[in-house]
A and B are shown apart, each in its own frame.
Chain A
């Protein structure tokens, strides 16, 4: 195995991005395409080669740390510039560069009419570099560096359309919430330095069982989880992700669905040695994941913006992964991370074809009946919907069921979480089929589409086709009672993971098929069978409520008729969570800071006398303080 390959894989996207950025003027589009897509594809091929090489090694030899130089040495603490190449990082690299390449190819067409073509590819390349750094880092410091850099790239790309104020606001919000997470991770790193004197993964994991006290290990893991929750949009740090949909659709697909937002899952799996020592933190992780997956699924049922539906579904799906990771089912979490990357990228890209075809429209109210015009996008989206809903045989089916089955086997808490997850699976099927039907079937919206829907050309269609195949068949790499390639592959990193028992498998299988069928059928009955039904249904309820006269409330009424209490909950949650807790906290802190700033400003009145007076007061204050210290 040649670990130097990892350095090349890491460096190529940065090189491409730097070349694009340094180009003195806007380069020709063909050149931008070559410099943007080329490094990505080569990186993917090299990663694949690395993977093949690794397959040829004994499982004991599959973990290599490639150290280049010692970055800093402070006392006993030494931090290297080093990459850790092991099955986990290679798996992440495959996802990042593989899905990344497809999305880059797609973007060449999708962004064709944007004047900032070069900036787009430069920033995307920078993102891929940062993401690869995050997954390849061999110590916590470079993990944090990658962690912060993907946040920066995400900031730049959410704010890509800088002339739109909501985009700039969303970018800022995402950045600040992510910095809170970064800070928590820095503090965790501090504790590790103080307690263990090293930040190197392998040394930390080796020393942790003896070197870290119970309290310290819980603190470190909880702080790391704050970082993970911020990056992976888990409750209550999730509010930035729906807003992040202000970015271009390929950005949403790559960063806010397939790769960056799953970094939190990666982090927990990477540091699972610590989480295994911290039962409370692990439970916290699992519960947070379950709460998130349920809340986000209910909220997704009332969204009208297609991309926001997908954003909430992303939050929900990552909730599954986080829950699995908290329950110790690391293999299942990584498995779902991979399949989710396939089908969520597929959904974003195929919905992106619709948005592209409609010249930027994103509201479900402006869609409907598009299946007739955009057959390819229809089929692709349908495959994505099948996969995310977990229809048997698709990628999402295998991975989601494995998470649920693992939960079933994980004690009392696991059973509760299993129930939540299974319920949410039904809701997931409901809202995804709702999205499908409201976009592609039924009548055209009143007033038409505004433009004639344009089918997409091959650079957009081809990646979508590849992802569709992966979403359909990509789940077969691990089959219950059959073979366990993911678990085998990750064994050098996460150890031998026990597979769920037969009872768990069967109960989960039966339940999930049932809830998915119910969810899908409900959506089908309301949105697809009879185009007039929504109106009729609404009409019946209008009798009781004048409110229903309002055309815009239709959506609410259907939902109420079907999922009644869930809908109310969703509405409530949406209002509360969207502009609630964390945002309120952030806003409160900001207004406090602003208020104090205005106070300081008033004190700064320009008079020398005031300044001297404050200075003397400072001297007196210091004297009093020192007197207190001395006499204490």
Chain B
């Protein structure tokens, strides 16, 4: 295998996954949390594409394409919900949405 070794793809991917995870836990704005989740999904995509290169087959690339579509769907739903929250004149702060607990 020529070019960048698989190891670096994976390191990048791990790094992005961790970043996303920290983002979900640190952010309070649902939009930014969705963004962080996108980061996590796409870090998996990088891993998939990297593996596809290593195995020299297309399964991983197809998987990555599918994941992109799925991620888009999730974001659309997320945005819809954020708009609904906004319309109810509720604060765009996930920490304040904690009436359900116990």
Contacts and interface: CB of A to CB of B under 8 A. Distances in A.
Direct contact of A and B (CB under 8 A): yes
Interface stretch (A51-59, A373-381, A598-606): A598-606
A43 B10 CA distance: 77
B91 interface: no
A612 B33 CA distance: 12
Residue of A604, A605, A609 most packed against chain B (CB within 10 A): A609
A628 interface: no
Contacts of B21: 612, 616
A485 B101 CA distance: 68
Nearest to B94: A608
B4 interface: no
B100 A606 contact: yes
B16 interface: no
B101 A604 contact: yes
Nearest to A616: B21
Given A609-B26, A609-B95, 18 more contacts: A601-B102, A604-B101, A604-B102, A605-B98, A605-B101, A606-B97, A606-B98, A606-B99, A606-B101, A606-B102, A607-B95, A607-B98, A608-B24, A608-B33, A609-B24, A609-B25, A613-B25, A616-B21
A501 B62 CA distance: 89
8 A-B pairs with least C-beta separation: A606-B101, A606-B98, A609-B25, A601-B102, A608-B94, A612-B24, A612-B25, A607-B98
Interface in A579-609: 601, 604-609
Contacts of A608: 24, 33, 94
Contacts of B97: 606
A609 B33 CA distance: 10
Contacts of B26: 609
Contacts, number: 27
6 contacts: A604-B101, A606-B99, A606-B100, A607-B94, A609-B24, A609-B26
B20 to A, nearest CB: 11
Interface of A: 601, 604-609, 612-613, 616
Nearest to A613: B25
A608 B99 CA distance: 12
A546 to B, nearest CB: 54
A601 B102 CA distance: 5
Interface of B: 21, 24-26, 33, 94-95, 97-102
A613 B24 CA distance: 10
A247 to B, nearest CB: 36
A613 B22 CA distance: 9
Nearest to B95: A607
A605 B97 CA distance: 11
A612 B27 CA distance: 12
Residue of A608, A612, A616 most packed against chain B (CB within 10 A): A608
B50 to A, nearest CB: 21
A139 B33 CA distance: 59
A339 B85 CA distance: 75
Contacts of B94: 607-609
A565 to B, nearest CB: 54
Nearest to B98: A606
B60 to A, nearest CB: 23
Contacts of B102: 601, 604, 606
Contacts of A616: 21
B3 to A, nearest CB: 31
Contacts of A604: 101-102
A618 to B, nearest CB: 13
Residue of A604, A605, A606 most packed against chain B (CB within 10 A): A606
Contacts of A609: 24-26, 94-95
A596 to B, nearest CB: 14
A601 to B, nearest CB: 5
B75 to A, nearest CB: 17
Nearest to B100: A606
Residue of B26, B33, B100, B102 most packed against chain A (CB within 10 A): B102
B17 to A, nearest CB: 11
Nearest to B28: A609
Residue of B21, B25, B98 most packed against chain A (CB within 10 A): B25
Contacts of B99: 606
Contacts of B24: 608-609, 612
B1 to A, nearest CB: 28
A601 B101 CA distance: 8
Contacts of A601: 102
A494 B64 CA distance: 73
B14 to A, nearest CB: 13
A34 B25 CA distance: 69
A607 to B, nearest CB: 5
A262 B42 CA distance: 68
A605 B100 CA distance: 8
Contacts of A607: 94-95, 98
B23 to A, nearest CB: 10
Contacts of A605: 98, 101
Nearest to A598: B102
Nearest to A602: B102
A613 B21 CA distance: 9
Nearest to B102: A601
